[in-house]
Amino acid sequence: MPNLVETTGIVHRYLSARVPLIVVQSIEPNRVMEIIASCAARARQMSYYEHSRTEGIKDLLTGQAVSDETSLQAALEQARMTFKSRQNVNFVFTDVEGLESETTTSRHFAEMVRLAESRQCTIMLITANPVWPGLGRLGMCERLDLPTTEELALTLTQMVDDHRGRLPIQWQADEVRQAAEALTGITEAEAINVLASLLAKGSLEITDLAELSRFKDRIFGDMSGIERIPLRGDYEVGGLRGLREWLEPRERLMKMDLTHSPLHPPKGVLLVGVPGCGKSLSAKAIASQWDLPLYRLDMAGILGMYVGQSESQLREALAAADRVAPCVLWIDEIEKALASGAGDSGTSRRLVGQFLFWLQESTSKVFMVATANDVSSLPPELLRKGRFDELFFVDLPDPSDREEIAQVYFQRYLSMDPSPLLLKEVVEHSDGFSGSDIDAVIHEIAARRFTSAQEGEPSDEEILAYFDNVLPYSQTNPEDVAAIRAWGESRCVPAGSARTLNGTFAGATAPRRRVLV
Ligand SMILES: Nc1ncnc2c1ncn2[C@@H]1O[C@H](COP(=O)(O)OP(=O)(O)O)[C@@H](O)[C@H]1O
Ligand SMILES: [Mg+2]
């Protein structure tokens, strides 16, 4: 990404080379004007004029108005006369409309460039969009990208330091860097507005950092293709210890400053496995625990679009994710969109390719959590090593996981701390239950008691009766579960604690890959 210093160097070189047309493409005309002003200060033997539709024409070095005429016509005429009478003059035009294609305006500019060339003069155009090639090819085009994280950090540091002593400010270098990372993807002016709004509260606190992603959401408005998922604070995942341990160092890596390090941020995980065992829950829990915003990418929705639209929509969605980084990007039930044979197979294959390319190339702090229930039809290239950082198999919870999960929901729905004996029995009576089944049973107990206004804690017998009354998903759909587990065994290997499920499933073989219980 060319930054301000690089672009300044290049523009300076083009000016010295007397290139007759210099187009600088940027959505931040003010930053481009800074570049031109610093070039002007370096090469004072040249004259610089700037035309804008609000101020007419002014001399850039003295800041004095040359003409109040604001129309483009008048400015072009002024430029023509100046070029005819003097050499080494530079005319800067901002906000000119109609340059993207062959129009009267773009043809007029092309003529002016030819005149400028014959007089060692230069026309500079600052524009948000690429210009008509017939014009652009007469000179050189350069793009000024949005400020890099380092540039933003510099701007924010100056602003924060300016307010130190006057306001209570908790931010130190590390917080400023985190803020710059969170704001990367917006313009310098927008970043300044965001920080100014925080400072306007009268203080700058560590907790303000969490606000930044909300500001960014507001700036982007329509996030084209990704949707922000509001998070609560209470996502408790029982079991899945392998995943949780694996995530720990990754969280640190996501938060660290990697600018001067050869390391790249973690890319993400693919969670596959039995329905109702905590895959979607984990996506939310990761974002919540890492204090990052969670965005959902609706891959199936993208695939369902008109032919030709899907690819551009996916590109926009992934670009949006890059912009809102650092974040967690969640694709739920990825197989629904990317299964071989889903939708128009050509489109689906291209989407897989596009997605994998992004996964491999993107260096932004976007942590991807993709989940899948039906894994049999997932395209094999998605599962190859090196795509996601890791592929986890989320199996039915084992006894100790069931104990943890039951504890979570006894506490949540019944505000009760079950005795060790009750827990042991619940575990025995819930063989084959998923986390979602356990959640549902305890919720049912609490709901019945609530609606019939029963007081106090339910008895152990009552609780166990509820468990005995439920047929878990693994028993109502044994073939599905067996197929998913068989797949998990061959690809990621199920739990180290091999178990039998109602005698129909013969435990695991030796682990080949990191595994979850
Ligand atoms: N390991 C778990 N720990 C705690 N709750 C769980 C667990 N697994 C499932 N649940 C409960 O079941 C619900 C559904 O689980 P979910 O994560 O959506 O399953 P899936 O694996 O199909 O995505 C969760 O919202 C949660 O209430
Ligand atoms: Mg799910």
The CA 190 to ligand 1 mean position distance, Å, reads 39
| 386-402 residue pLDDT tens | 789 988 899 999 999 99
Chain mean pLDDT for the chain:
87
Separation of 344 CA from ligand 2 center, angstroms?
24
At 228, give phi and psi (nearest 5°): -75, 130
Ligand 1 centroid to residue 515 C-alpha, Å: 18
Q: How confident is the model at residue 223 (pLDDT cuts 50, 70, 90)?
A: low
**Nearest ligand to the C-alpha of residue 279?**
1
- Across 354-481, the runs of DSSP E, i.e. the strands, are 366-372, 390-394
DSSP string, 181-197: HHHBTB-HHHHHHHHHH
Closest approach atom of ligand 1 to CA 373: 22
- Residue 303 pLDDT more than 90? no
Using an 8 Å Cβ cutoff, are 69 and 52 in contact?
Answer: no
The per-residue pLDDT for 472 is 92
Q: Are 368 and 267 in contact (CB under 8 A)?
A: yes
| Residues sharing a CB contact under 8 Å with residue 45, sequence separation 6 or more, in sequence order | 88
CB atoms within 10 A of CB 16: 12
Q: Which residue has the higher pLDDT, 347 or 439?
A: 439
The model carries a pTM of 0.69
For domain 4-143, which architecture applies? 3-Layer(aba) Sandwich (3.40)
Asked if the model's pLDDT at residue 31 lies above 60, the reply is yes
Q: Is the CB of 435 under 6 A from ligand 1?
A: yes
Alpha carbons 100 and 192: distance in angstroms, whole number: 30
Where do the domains of the chain lie? Answer: 4-143, 149-221, 264-391, 399-474
Q: What is the pLDDT of residues 329-348, one digit of tens each?
A: 999 999 887 765 555 567 77
Ligand 1 atom closest to the Cα of residue 236 is 4
Query: Higher pLDDT residue, 419 or 312?
Result: 419
The verdict on domain 264-391 having CATH code 3.40.50.1100 is: no
Query: Between these two residues, 202 and 517, which has the higher pLDDT value?
Result: 202
Q: Each residue of 78-128: pLDDT tens digit?
A: 999 999 999 999 999 998 999 999 999 999 999 999 999 999 999 999 998
Closest by CA to 36, choosing from 24, 27, 26, 45, is 24
Q: Dig out the tokens for 484 from the structure.
A: 């998913």
pLDDT of residue 495: 30
Closest CA to 396 of 235, 275, 514: 275
Q: 340: which DSSP letter?
A: T
Identify which ligand lies nearest to the alpha carbon of 234. Answer: 1
Rounded Cα distance between 445 and 449, Å, is 6
Instruction: Give the Å distance between the CA of 274 and the centre of ligand 1.
Output: 10
Residue keyed to tokens 């104990």: 403
Asked if the domains 4-143 and 264-391 are classified in one and the same CATH topology, the answer is yes
CA of 403 to the centre of ligand 1 (A): 14
Cα of 232 from ligand 2 centre, angstroms? 17
From 241, 277, 330, mutation site for ligand 1 pocket: most ligand atoms within 8 A of C-beta: 277
Would you place residue 307 in the very low, low, confident or very high pLDDT band (cuts 50, 70, 90)? low
Q: Rounded CA gap, 509 and 492, in Å?
A: 11
pLDDT for res 340: 59
Decide whether any atom of ligand 1 lies within 6 Å of the 324 Cβ: no
H/E run at residue 133: helix 133-136
Is the minimum distance from the CB of 277 to ligand 1 under 6 angstroms? yes
Averaged over 273-293, what is the pLDDT? 93
**What pLDDT was estimated at residue 513?**
28
